[in-house]
């Protein structure tokens, strides 16, 4: 196993710290996205798709990277399935 470039582990404290290092607050990020001021704070503790999307956009990462447990990777579909043509490409694959 190689010790290449490691991805940062995102927990609620790391997300909050990254927002603050970028010179903003959770409430400001939410309001700039047109959401209620508490939306991003809620997203740190439980599922809130709009708050998650606002934070991910502000931090320039996908929600799947910030919350891999909330966005499990899709299992491979059986061969011959027509579902592949209708699903969007996963942004996680780009990071690998």
pLDDT at 23: 97
- Tens-place pLDDT, residues 37-88: 999 999 999 999 999 999 999 999 999 999 988 888 776 666 555 544 444 4
Reported pTM: 0.69
pLDDT at residue 4, as a whole number: 60
DSSP per-residue string spanning 3-66: --PPPPP--HHHHHHHHHHTT--HHHHHHHTTS-TTHHHHHHHS--HHHHHHHHHHHTS-HHHH
CATH code at 8-69: 1.10.260.40
Grade residue 92 by pLDDT with cuts at 50, 70 and 90: very low
**What is the domain partition of the chain in residue ranges?**
8-69
Please give the average per-residue pLDDT across 26-43, as a whole number.
97
pLDDT of residue 17: 95
User: With 80 as the cut, is the pLDDT of residue 22 above it?
Assistant: yes
């Amino acid at each position: 196993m190689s010790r290449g470039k490691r991805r940062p582990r995102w927990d609620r404290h790391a997300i909050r710290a990254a927002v603050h290092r970028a010179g903003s607050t959770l409430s400001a990020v939410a309001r700039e996205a047109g959401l209620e001021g508490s939306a991003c704070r809620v997203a740190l503790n439980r599922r809130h798709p709009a708050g998650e999307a606002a934070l991910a956009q502000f931090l320039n990462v996908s929600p799947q990277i910030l919350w891999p447990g909330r966005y499990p990777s899709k299992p491979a579909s059986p061969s011959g399935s027509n579902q592949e043509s209708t699903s969007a490409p996963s942004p996680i694959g780009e990071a690998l």
